[in-house]
Structure 1
Amino acid sequence: MTETVLSENVAEGVRQITMNRPDRRNALDRATYQGLIDALAAADTDASVRAIVLTGAGGCFTSGNDIKDFAAGGPGGARVAIDFLDAISTTKKPIVAAVEGFAVGIGTTMLLHCDLAFAGSGASFRLPFVALGLCPEGGSSYLLPLIAGSKRAAELLMLGEVFSPEVAQEAGLLNAVTEGGEALALALEKAKALAALPPQSVALTKMLLKRGSAAATAETIATEARHFGERLMSAEAQAAFAAFLMKR
């Protein structure tokens, strides 16, 4: 694991993976993506782990991609992010997300691949791809209409406005909204409940739940990734990145 990703056993059968760049609101650079990929793989192949909790340090889930890192990465800079999306979407162990603070971009789309997700009342969500001259990623152009309906998905993905945890729950991204600061406690409670169940039955149920959409999700992630890589080098995206970095 990298120091920007912490992985620890927090209860019997429960592995907690924490995005750990609190000084950058846990923005995801290439090293952090690789750390997440490694942590998920380690948890998925460890027989002692029965449930995974995914969260962020410092009262923030993640502010999304590290724009400076992405802007410097060239057309191949997004590859590790796609590798992470492939990893989280195919992890066999159940994943429970605990969201506080910001969940921006991939911080929101990764919730589509978590089996359970909880957020504190002060959490804030946004899918700003269009505003950044990019396009949806993470299979969101397929999965979000599936769970939220086409009109809500278009609103969230095309307008890219900030939305509340209550809207996120209504759109199917969350199971429940907790008091501020309580999302991790509830996520851990649910993870412990999952860990106490027959593990092969849990794994089989997860597989069956995802079976109908697995192929379409994988194909959508790949198609979005191709367009996303092209958009990264577009004049629109480069102008948006430059404007964003000037504000910092």
Structure 2
Amino acid sequence: MTLTITDDNRVRTLTLNRLEALNAFDEALYDATTDALRAAADDAEVSVLLLTGTGRSFSAGTDLAEMQAMVTDPDFTPGKHGFIGLVDALAEFPKPLICAVNGFGIGIGATILGFADLAFMATTARLKCPFTSLGVAPEAASSYLLPQLIGRQNAAWVLMSSEWIGAQEAREMGLVWKVCEPDDLLPEARRHAEVLASRPLSSLMAVKRTMTAPLVAEVAAARNRENACFAELMGGAANASALADFNQAKS
């Protein structure tokens, strides 16, 4: 099973569990995570959602082999929701969302933090937005959410450099809220999740709604800009070369 789901004290934990691919999102995992987010949103017994990963990776981002197949294989069959469906579900999620970054997060494994209400990160974890190294554009409204979250210059470095960001640097930027030793990560994230889950759900949702309402139109506009740039660059010379290098390295 590529996604495990557990409930405890009104906290639902989603654990990315595609170990053989370092929890990279293929179409099946995008679909499963989207369905799980929507189910949690609709479940009155769930007050808080906690997202984490297994092994040494939080998520290695989009599966690059599938990304190349989207470009080169005329018979490629996209999933029911795919990447866009997952980002829709994140943008619309009405309850507190907590991320516990247990290992490295690449691409959507980093940009998902723009939608987190609280983010915890292990001291050994690292983050990377590899868009320029792949010859593509930002994603998941990160071109809007990251400047809002960490400031324009920090966001420019994160989105333009394709360099790794360590846990302490992420904390100093404000990309994550707390940094924990690896063994303490999930207990700390769960402890805070249970504090929130002990509060009335209607109040939690009202707080989140009032905080996120001013961002809705800007997030949608950023996604439209990003999607247009991504479509323009996907399959272009820089992107094709990067994907070919990746697949050659794997073989």
User: Given the two structures, how large is their TM-score scaled by the length of structure 1?
Assistant: 0.94
What is the aligned partner in structure 2 of residue 29 from structure 1?
26
What is the aligned partner in structure 1 of residue 115 from structure 2?
113
Q: 1:95 touches 1:115 (CA, 8 Å); kept in 2? A: yes
What is the aligned partner in structure 1 of residue 146 from structure 2?
144
Q: State the alpha-carbon separation in 2 of the partners of residues 71 and 139 from structure 1.
A: 22
What is the aligned partner in structure 2 of residue 4 from structure 1?
2
The structure 1 segments of at least 4 consecutive aligned residues displaced by more than 6 Å after TM superposition are none
Residue identity opposite 1:18 in structure 2: T
Q: State the alpha-carbon separation in 1 of the partners of residues 83 and 222 from structure 2.
A: 15
Q: 1:14 touches 1:191 (CA, 8 Å); kept in 2? A: yes
Q: 1:70 touches 1:77 (CA, 8 Å); kept in 2? A: no
What is the aligned partner in structure 1 of residue 71 from structure 2?
74
Q: 2:134 touches 2:242 (CA, 8 Å); kept in 1? A: yes
Q: 1:97 touches 1:118 (CA, 8 Å); kept in 2? A: yes
Q: Look up the SS of the partner of 2:194 in the other structure.
A: helix
Q: State the alpha-carbon separation in 1 of the partners of residues 142 and 67 from structure 2.
A: 20
Q: State the alpha-carbon separation in 1 of the partners of residues 5 and 232 from structure 2.
A: 33
Q: State the alpha-carbon separation in 1 of the partners of residues 47 and 103 from structure 2.
A: 27
Q: Which residues of 2 match residues 82-161 of structure 1 at below 5 A?
A: 82-161=84-163
Residue identity opposite 2:25 in structure 1: L
Q: 1:100 touches 1:181 (CA, 8 Å); kept in 2? A: no
1:104-124 Cα deviation digits (max 9, x unpaired): 111000011011110110001
1:150-169 Cα deviation digits (max 9, x unpaired): 11111111111001011112
Q: State the alpha-carbon separation in 2 of the partners of residues 182 and 135 from structure 1.
A: 35
User: Given the two structures, how large is their TM-score scaled by the length of structure 2?
Assistant: 0.93
Q: Look up the SS of the partner of 1:33 in the other structure.
A: helix
Percent sequence identity over matched residues?
36
Q: State the alpha-carbon separation in 2 of the partners of residues 238 and 181 from structure 1.
A: 40
Matched, 1:16 2:18: no
CA-CA distance at 1:215 after TM superposition: 1.0
Q: State the alpha-carbon separation in 2 of the partners of residues 219 and 183 from structure 1.
A: 34
Residue identity opposite 1:170 in structure 2: E
What is the aligned partner in structure 2 of residue 208 from structure 1?
210
Q: 2:114 touches 2:149 (CA, 8 Å); kept in 1? A: no
CA-CA distance at 1:74 after TM superposition: 3.1
Q: State the alpha-carbon separation in 2 of the partners of residues 181 and 237 from structure 1.
A: 38
1:182-211 Cα deviation digits (max 9, x unpaired): 221111111111110011111000011111
Q: Which moved more, 1:44-53 or 1:229-238?
A: 229-238
- Residue 186 and residue 131 in structure 1: after superposition, are their counterparts in 2 closer, same or farther (change >3 A)? same
- Length, aligned pairs only: 245
Matched, 1:52 2:54: no
Residue identity opposite 2:2 in structure 1: T
What is the aligned partner in structure 1 of residue 193 from structure 2?
191
Q: State the alpha-carbon separation in 2 of the partners of residues 98 and 246 from structure 1.
A: 32
Matched, 1:63 2:60: yes
Q: 2:54 touches 2:102 (CA, 8 Å); kept in 1? A: no
Q: Look up the SS of the partner of 2:213 in the other structure.
A: helix
CA-CA distance at 1:64 after TM superposition: 0.8
CA-CA distance at 1:77 after TM superposition: 5.5
Q: State the alpha-carbon separation in 1 of the partners of residues 125 and 162 from structure 2.
A: 16
